[in-house]
Chain A
């Protein structure tokens, strides 16, 4: 029986509550016994390749990117679900202990597919109480019995009256209700942080807003910190305080949502923004090629083969083309709190935004890749190279 009251928070609002430092996750391709003995290591997929991230207490941080960019793997690593090759994760300033159980009470996860996440043989009551039972909690902070804690969590998640849901099975609920159950299952442990992996992408359009609304309301009421993994920048615009954009296992741009989404300083962010569907949007540039392949990370800036700034000749004009092709780089703080990992922004600072827009306009409808090249020849062509964990969809 652990203490009924969750230990008081030591982190003030706005300070770093969760920190990811130089995180590396590698997936190894399957190697046959004989090939392994001959020293064949198989293909190595660097799913997460040096991620640094600080999550501040009380904020909503969105991690965005294409599938295979490592965003889901990063989230899973934060949850201890993914063995890590290198790097540290710190919670409230301290590295994670060997026994993750106390940590996993304060940090909860909401998954993409609410149907698969609920055990079809358990009732809603059992599903919500599971977290309490795992952590040996049989009374709430005020001595409430389990039944009351479950009821509270359900009604917080908008499932009211809660007792009408107790003995139902997941298949009797709609998709939106199931996702609410998943959220209630996380809330019952009174977490500080919620990591949500594409929480609405499996839901019907009209229900999405509702679930996001719920998360926002919980953040306000319970002082939650939310990390939300998404491929949808529109969603980031609606809910996030800060946005981190990932490409090939690294964060390439991070900053306040308005800055990143309205004045991106990395050409990849610009490319992602250009494919958000809207009226007349098909006339805007679209990066050619399939999602990048984490088994073959290009040298130099990892985005340069698809980068409109390089392809348009803008990089040559700025005298940074050699750097783009040959020099790997980390995040620079361009504006206060707004970081970008791009040679153009390193050279031009905040004016890089205009340079990127110009470069994109110069190319016209097809951005990146040599013209006429086959879409996706050198990318994503060999399935099985990446572990399923590496892709978000």
Chain B
């Protein structure tokens, strides 16, 4: 049998997996790494832009974010019933595009100021939700065993507890305020996130590269920081967007039930005062309608963004 002479192993064939010229020309490794990151981001953005739903959501969200930023700097004088001189319960007109409420305060001004509070509560509460959920999910999934069993039973408990009842009790104990609302939402909505993160951690934990790192002598912290977190992060982020939507809805519900901060305007708060002011019976649709529409739009925007992200992160969904 003829045996071909051995080709020395050190002859890498570089034809597979080419780095584009533009990258090969950049010399320093750090520069290349930055360039690669930029390129990864730009491919991500290119994919995202293909999703009409995602883009629509992003535009709506950008609009409300702009409104909220405007509200931070705008004068709040228009909200004080003792200072305003507008007509009471006036229907929309040129001076009051969304009419006025029973105190003569412009509904438009209220809705603008409300955007700030609603978005703030939504964001802070979801950061809290994600933090608790991710922590519980990672510890439970990574440690396994008794930790897992205990934490998951606790999570199941959190999932089945009627959160509204719990929220009302908590709010009545701590007293109605912005902080209460954020705490209540954060403390009640993490179990879903925890479950999701745990299942992802469980799958990452079994990957051979985690085994490799362990064989290299890596400890638990190394494993979590270098292998588990980077692989779980995309799922957490996609989930976070959906959690914001839920948090904003929760804030609305709690404020509507009168558990919100009586001194700050949120969209839920506006609906509450409209309801108490008999806007429905008086036919003042301009008072109760706009904040409702805003909530629907913002929640929709977050949900659409979440779907778009999910499609990019989960290739299985993309195939459909």
Binding site for B on A (CB under 8 A): 79-81, 100-101, 104-105, 108-109, 111, 113, 116-119, 121-123, 125, 130-131, 134-135, 147, 155, 158-160, 163-168, 171-174, 177, 180, 182, 185, 189, 210-211, 213-214, 217
Judge whether B16 and A147 touch: CB under 8 Å. no
A202 CB, min distance to chain B CBs, angstroms: 11
Binding site for A on B (CB under 8 A): 6-14, 16-17, 19, 29, 32-33, 36, 207-209, 211-219, 222, 226-227, 230-231
Contacts of B33 in A (CB 8 A): 123, 167
Q: A155-B10, A164-B14, A217-B9 are in contact. Are A81 and B215 (CB under 8 A)?
A: yes
A308 CB, min distance to chain B CBs, angstroms: 31
In the assembly, what is the distance between CA of A108 and CA of B209, in Å?
14
Among B9, B219, B230, max chain A CB count under 10 A is at: B9
Q: A158-B9, A177-B12 are in contact. Are A116 and B230 (CB under 8 A)?
A: no
- A165's nearest neighbour on chain B, judged by CB, is B12
Judge whether A189 and B216 touch: CB under 8 Å. yes
Contacts of A182 in B (CB 8 A): 212
Beyond the given pairs A108-B216, A119-B231, A134-B216, 14 more chain A to chain B contacts, judged by CB atoms under 8 angstroms and listed by A's residue number, are: A100-B217, A104-B216, A105-B217, A111-B208, A118-B212, A119-B226, A130-B218, A131-B217, A134-B217, A135-B217, A158-B12, A159-B10, A167-B33, A210-B9
In the assembly, what is the distance between CA of A101 and CA of B215, in Å?
9
6 contacts between A and B (CB under 8 A): A79-B215, A116-B209, A131-B217, A166-B32, A180-B9, A210-B9
- B207's nearest neighbour on chain A, judged by CB, is A116
In the assembly, what is the distance between CA of A185 and CA of B216, in Å?
9
- B6's nearest neighbour on chain A, judged by CB, is A213
Judge whether B208 and A117 touch: CB under 8 Å. yes
- A160's nearest neighbour on chain B, judged by CB, is B10
- A163's nearest neighbour on chain B, judged by CB, is B29
Judge whether B16 and A109 touch: CB under 8 Å. no
Residue among B10, B218, B226, B231 making CB contact with A158, cutoff 8 Å:
B10
A69 CB, min distance to chain B CBs, angstroms: 20
Judge whether B19 and A168 touch: CB under 8 Å. yes
In the assembly, what is the distance between CA of A213 and CA of B207, in Å?
28
In the assembly, what is the distance between CA of A220 and CA of B63, in Å?
67
Judge whether B215 and A108 touch: CB under 8 Å. yes
Q: A117-B208, A155-B10, A167-B36 are in contact. Are A134 and B17 (CB under 8 A)?
A: no
In the assembly, what is the distance between CA of A340 and CA of B94, in Å?
101
A78 CB, min distance to chain B CBs, angstroms: 10
Judge whether A111 and B218 touch: CB under 8 Å. no
Contacts of B6 in A (CB 8 A): 213
Residue among B7, B14, B214, B219 making CB contact with A81, cutoff 8 Å:
B214
Contacts of B219 in A (CB 8 A): 134
Contacts of B17 in A (CB 8 A): 168, 171-174
Residue among B19, B209, B217 making CB contact with A119, cutoff 8 Å:
B209
B232 CB, min distance to chain A CBs, angstroms: 11
Among A117, A172, A173, max chain B CB count under 10 A is at: A117
Contacts of B231 in A (CB 8 A): 119, 121
- A118's nearest neighbour on chain B, judged by CB, is B209
B282 CB, min distance to chain A CBs, angstroms: 58
Contacts of A171 in B (CB 8 A): 17
Residue among A104, A167, A213 making CB contact with B9, cutoff 8 Å:
A213
